[in-house]
DNA sequence: AAGTCTCTCGTAAACGTTTGCATAGTTAAA
DNA sequence: TTTAACTATGCAAACGTTTACGAGAGACTT
């Protein structure tokens, strides 16, 4: 049995009032007398009235919805970020739309285009690499659409951003490798065009320059395809003989475990390892992984709070414009004593 | 510089046509002549026209959006499910709203209420335990709102469902423990009221009955709070002296690793372990975890496809009404040879 | 007693889109 | 030539909500 929806009109007819009065009563307008207000609210409750969001959205030109665009959701970092975003959205009575770009810039651009239609009031995005640039983000920004970037930033788009201290955390992590006796630390990363890869690489390079200025940087770049990368990493290890590895991406660190298992290499005896990761279970790896952990939930929360300031047209101070939340190093067995 | 939005009216005025003609031209109506149709489309492209979804949604009574409600997104199983759902939604040109219940039945009920307002055209939900029952889901169903349950099912709500073969996969897993010489296998689970806990427990009990009918079942139930559960699990191990463990929840298996590390117990020598998990990294645990892996992505995909059949009012055959996608056992080191 | 205020409510327009119906012009059929 | 049918387009209503404006009634001021 399908009931026809209960609208403001249903209530109005039931109580012999006009729809205007009902509407006002429901939002506690002072123009409506207390008894009428109560009658309306009572009726709304009884009938299970829910305001139609398309109607109010059309009228108000807003949707009480924000969009979140990330490369993937299977990654723990992103799922924690989403959780942080969701908590803030909830607190603001907003809803959350999710878009997965799967590292496809074409999809990303399509999704962004789709947002210019009233479906969302703001966008939080961690971009995928786009060789053609991010003009579509700037176009979105120019229309006044609230936009905040996080994690993977883009210099050319001038909006508020939230990220972690990629460069300095990487610098510290690599220094740690040297302190533990590493002679030839290598960098393991993904797409070298990504903001996170670039900034983390620059931390590695700085540490290298300070500790071993004469050494050529050892840089491995994975494609993201496990089978291909495994072969490549194996070849890289044999050719360049690093004795320590700095993982700028969780997947690369896990790949090293796999290669070591297959080839009988030992961690940390043959390869010391420290890596960015937000996977809690890495403390149970064999050996446990010394990790650089990003405050993912907080990054999501801060980015969302920033977005709501933009949406609500609150003033954003210069200091807030670029928020850097520091990562923490969690010691474990993949480094020597 | 904020531009005013470009609507159908903008195009109409620019071309000297009525909004009706423009609207029809944009949706390839045969009523409009080919040249006019082209002119309109060209203008729409130039102006970057995007149809306002609130307006069309209000008119059509639909939103091209589905809602997904899960307890959390940090869990790999759920994030994979979401990915599967998203892929189907994309293919249908639908958008995805996400709601995290955090195991709070009050939130869940609130969220469900919120959906009766035109924001979504359907709901995919993995419920949280609600001691007061799921009347709100039945109410939603009775209004004709498309609804599909997955993973955590509810008997009292008669809608299409998708899940894995919890009982038989658990039965097989426990049989495996016996085959590998276990004498006293115990069950590790979460909330005993959950569908997944109950069905998996029943698989454990069946295997126990067949292999060791005289033995009292050993059942440990975690709360979900790590600190509390760690103490409790430790006490459980000491008191009941199991020699093998069947993890009905990933978090419980990881907890065992932690307890073993702290107390110096060995896996699999002291405790053999097999557990449900969808965390790919468990193959690198110390020792690697023998896993029951659910086809999470496919569960999401199937559930979404089912939901779209309901939304599009396609016939759903009895065989589709309850879809069971089998889990796979992935052998590793946490079982004896 | 007339004017002014305040309180409470209703009328109607607007948000942008879709669509039934009307209309004007053209073509085909009788 | 008249009529019927078809083509291409416009008019206007509708979806459900919000809100500017106005109106009627009562209270108060001068």
A279-337 pLDDT, tens digit per residue, is: 999 988 888 999 999 999 999 999 999 999 999 988 888 888 999 999 999 999 999 88
Residue A2 has pLDDT above 60, yes or no: no
Q: Alpha-carbon distance A322 to A126, whole Å?
A: 14
**Total CB pairs under 8 A between chain A and B:** 140
Q: What is the pLDDT of residue B224?
A: 83
Minimum Cα–Cα distance from A4: chain B residue: B143
Please check whether residue A106 touches B, CB under 8 A.
Answer: no
HEC string of chain A equals: CCCCCCCHHHHHHHHCCCHHHHHHHHCCCCCCCHHHHHHHHHHHHHHCCCCCHHHHHHHHCCCCEEEEEECCCCCHHHHHHHHHHHHHHHHCCCEEEEEECCCCHHHHHHHHHHCCCCCCCCEEECCCCCCCCCHHHHHHHHCCCCEEEECCCCCCCCCCEEEECHHHHHHHHHHHHHHCCCCCEEEEECCCCCHHHHHHHHHHHHHHHHHCCCCCCEEEECCCCHHHHHHHHHHHHHHHCCCEEEECCHHHHHHHHHHHHHHCCCCCCCCEEEEECCCHHHHHECCCCEEEECCHHHHHHHHHHHHHHHHCCCCCCHHHHEEEECCEEECCCCCCC
A21 touches strand C (CB under 7 A): yes
Q: Strand C positions with any atom < 7 Å from protein CB?
A: 7-12, 14-20
CA–CA gap between residue B87 and residue B304 (Å, rounded): 9
- Spatial contact of B252 and B228, defined as CB atoms under 8 Å apart: no
- Angle of helix B19-26 relative to helix B8-15, nearest 10 degrees, comes to 110
**Nearest-by-Cβ selection for B118 from A53, A119, A282:** A53
Quick one: pLDDT at residue A224? 84
Question: Taking a C-beta distance cutoff of 8 angstroms, is the pair A170, A248 a contact?
Answer: yes
Confirm or reject contact between A257 and chain B (CB < 8 A): yes
pTM, entire model: 0.94
CA distance A52 to chain B (A): 5
Round to the nearest angstrom and report the end-to-end CA distance of chain B. Answer: 70
Please indicate whether residue B1 or residue A297 has the higher confidence score (pLDDT). Answer: A297
The nucleotide whose C1' lies nearest the CA of B31 is: D8
Would you say how long chain B is, in residues? 337
Q: What is the mean pLDDT of chain B?
A: 94
Residue B2 has pLDDT above 60, yes or no: no
Residue B214 in this model has a pLDDT that exceeds 90: yes
Phi, psi dihedral angles at A101 (to 5 degrees): -90, -20
Residue keyed to tokens 């690198």: B284
How far, in Å, is the CA of B33 from the C1' of nucleotide D1?
30
pLDDT tens digit string along B46-70?
Answer: 998 999 999 999 999 899 999 999 9
Which of A225-229, A321-325, B230-234, B301-305 comes out lowest in average pLDDT? Answer: A225-229
Question: Residue A36: which nucleotide is closest by CA–C1'?
Answer: C8
Over residues A273-280, the mean pLDDT reads 96
B292 membership: H or E segment, kind and range: strand B290-293
Contact A89, A122 (CB under 8 A): no
Test A286 with B282 for CB contact under 8 angstroms. no
Q: In the predicted model, what is the mean pLDDT of residues A202-214?
A: 97
- Is residue B76 within 8 angstroms of chain A, CB to CB? yes
Closest nucleotide C1' to the C-alpha of A18: C10
pLDDT at B314: 84
Whether B100 contacts chain A with CB within 8 A: yes
Q: What is the pLDDT of residue B28?
A: 85
């Amino acid at each position: 049995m399908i009931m026809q929806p209960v609208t403001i009109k249903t209530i109005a007819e039931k109580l012999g009032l006009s729809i205007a009065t009902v509407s006002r009563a429901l939002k506690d307008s002072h123009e409506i007398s207390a008894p009428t207000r109560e009658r309306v609210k009572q009726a709304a409750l009884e009938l299970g009235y829910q305001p139609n969001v398309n109607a109010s959205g059309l009228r108000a030109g807003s949707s009480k919805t924000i969009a979140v665009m990330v490369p993937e959701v299977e990654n723990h970092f992103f799922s924690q970020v989403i959780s942080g975003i969701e908590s803030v959205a909830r607190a603001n009575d907003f809803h959350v739309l999710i878009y997965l770009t799967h590292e496809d810039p074409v999809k990303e651009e399509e999704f962004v285009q789709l947002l210019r239609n009233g479906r969302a009031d703001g966008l939080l995005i961690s971009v995928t690499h786009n060789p053609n640039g991010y003009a579509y983000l700037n176009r979105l920004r120019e229309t006044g659409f609230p936009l905040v970037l996080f994690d993977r930033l883009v210099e050319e788009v001038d909006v508020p951003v939230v990220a972690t201290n990629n460069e300095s955390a990487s610098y510290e992590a690599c220094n740690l490798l040297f302190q533990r006796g590493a002679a030839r630390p290598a960098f393991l990363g993904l797409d070298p065009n990504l903001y996170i890869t670039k900034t983390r690489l620059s931390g590695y390079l700085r540490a290298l320059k300070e500790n071993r200025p004469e050494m050529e940087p050892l840089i491995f770049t994975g494609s993201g395809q496990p089978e291909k990368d495994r072969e490549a990493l194996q070849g890289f290890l044999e050719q360049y003989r690093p004795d320590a590895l700095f993982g700028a991406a969780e997947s690369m660190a896990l790949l090293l475990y796999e290669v070591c298992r297959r080839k009988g290499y030992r961690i940390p005896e043959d390869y010391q390892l420290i890596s960015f990761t937000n996977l809690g279970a890495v403390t149970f790896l064999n050996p446990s992984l010394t990790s650089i952990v990003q405050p993912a939930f907080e990054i999501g929360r801060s980015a969302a709070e920033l977005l709501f300031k933009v949406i609500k047209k609150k003033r954003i101070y210069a200091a807030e414009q670029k928020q850097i939340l520091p990562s923490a190093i969690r010691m474990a067995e993949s480094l020597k004593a």
